[in-house]
């Protein structure tokens, strides 16, 4: 065709410009489409051509304590712990009421007795259901559980005494309020340090 010069003609007669460079090849296939051997082969081909294929490490660094406590796993354990805590706490309150009403025991002493008895029940259910799968031994786990219970007992006694001394709240209602704070502290201690499930 006149005026086409040295340019090649498209079959329909239009002039087609020569490509300045060859079409670049992709660096590597998408990692998610590669199997183990294909990924290795792609890495070798990339290295031979002066290009490296970086594959993220499969093992991520452990999450911080705050991230673990806010995880879905922690939420599931907390729900199971709440159910067991309600059962153990109902037993605690019933024993507290019986010791104060029928045995005439001092309210603080009765609260301590009820707290320890309820925590023994809590440990049995916690080990078999809440924190199932722990590698902590039964005896050592119970010892750690009692230590954590003593921490919770200290928190309970201090707050409970403060409610009885400085407020007009009924002693059973005060015990319910105090249990929320003490229960969360004991849950974290057991999940992280004792049963090591978080």
Q: What is the pLDDT of residue 144?
A: 92
From 22-26, 83-87, 175-179, the region with the lowest mean pLDDT: 22-26
pLDDT of residue 92 exceeding 80, the answer is yes
- Cα separation, 148 vs 191, in Å, equals 11
User: pLDDT value at position 173?
Assistant: 92
Beta-sheet strands, E only, within the chain:
8-9, 15-16
Distance CA 74, CA 196 (A): 12
- In which band, very low, low, confident or very high, does the pLDDT at 133 lie, cut at 50, 70 and 90? confident
Q: In angstroms, rounded to a whole number, what is the distance separating the alpha carbons of residues 122 and 86? A: 10
Rounded average pLDDT over 149-164? 90
Q: Does the structure show a pLDDT above 80 at 82?
A: yes
């Amino acid at each position: 065709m006149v005026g086409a010069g040295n340019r090649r003609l498209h079959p329909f007669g239009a002039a087609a410009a020569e490509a300045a460079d060859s079409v670049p090849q992709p660096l590597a296939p998408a990692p998610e489409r590669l199997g183990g051997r294909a990924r290795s082969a792609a890495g070798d081909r990339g290295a031979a051509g002066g290009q490296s294929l970086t594959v993220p490490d499969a093992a991520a660094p452990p999450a911080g304590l705050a991230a673990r406590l806010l995880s879905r796993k922690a939420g599931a354990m907390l729900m199971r712990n709440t159910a067991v805590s309600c059962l153990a706490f109902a037993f605690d309150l019933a024993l507290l009421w019986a010791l104060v009403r029928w045995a005439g025991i001092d309210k603080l002493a009765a609260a301590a007795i009820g707290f320890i008895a309820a925590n023994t029940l809590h440990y049995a259910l916690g080990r078999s259901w809440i924190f199932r799968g722990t590698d902590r031994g039964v005896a050592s786990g119970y010892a750690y559980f009692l230590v954590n219970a003593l921490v919770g007992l200290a928190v309970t006694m201090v707050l409970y005494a403060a409610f009885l001394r400085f407020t007009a709240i009924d002693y059973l209602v005060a015990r319910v309020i105090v249990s929320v704070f003490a229960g969360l502290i004991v849950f974290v201690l057991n999940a992280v340090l004792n049963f090591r499930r978080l």
